[in-house]
Chain A
């Protein structure tokens, strides 16, 4: 372990914005992408269910 304190870790020797910005952007993009994939699937499921059961009464 090379960090003397938690705040040192977050400060990243002055490069905090750049380092955490990069890792943050990457994590954000991956999270958003996963959400989008999941939402697209759910929408398609809803659409397909509606198509195949148009006569059922909606309660």
Chain B
């Protein structure tokens, strides 16, 4: 059974409501640990596929590392996106959210944030281990983590748009990927670019600032688009 419903929003501040959404998401996820761990394992497996595909030459792998790790993380983050709204849609809690007095945009933002905590953060923590396999040095590993830390919330936010647009649609999984992968490209470019720029001595500051800017933009606009898409999907 789902956790008991949170107290009516009239009694809570908006921050408390968002916190309640977060805690609910985490509680639900903990019941289905597999759903949280599978994308993480996917990340590890896919990242290992590249050396198997291109050969173990360390110079080549070192050169490829930022891009490969970022693409693998991006794909892994994308895997769990459908989960964001699908189960709530199925059991009716999504309609409840639409009817609640709390602005849907805030609820949606909270959901995207929980997706980041459950899907993105594990990737951030595991990435350095994979980075070692590719020969990245200590400093680069930190930059990698930082870039993923800044980038994965954006991926969750953009992903929420795709998840809401494809709600209940047949073939939703693959369709979702097709829709949002082009939108992920700037995050990929600046994320992988940050690590590369650091490695080549140019400094990652510019890339990381741009990643942060993208995050801010996504924070403002993605919930709006997701809310519109949810209302359309639930008509």
Direct contact of A and B (CB under 8 A): no
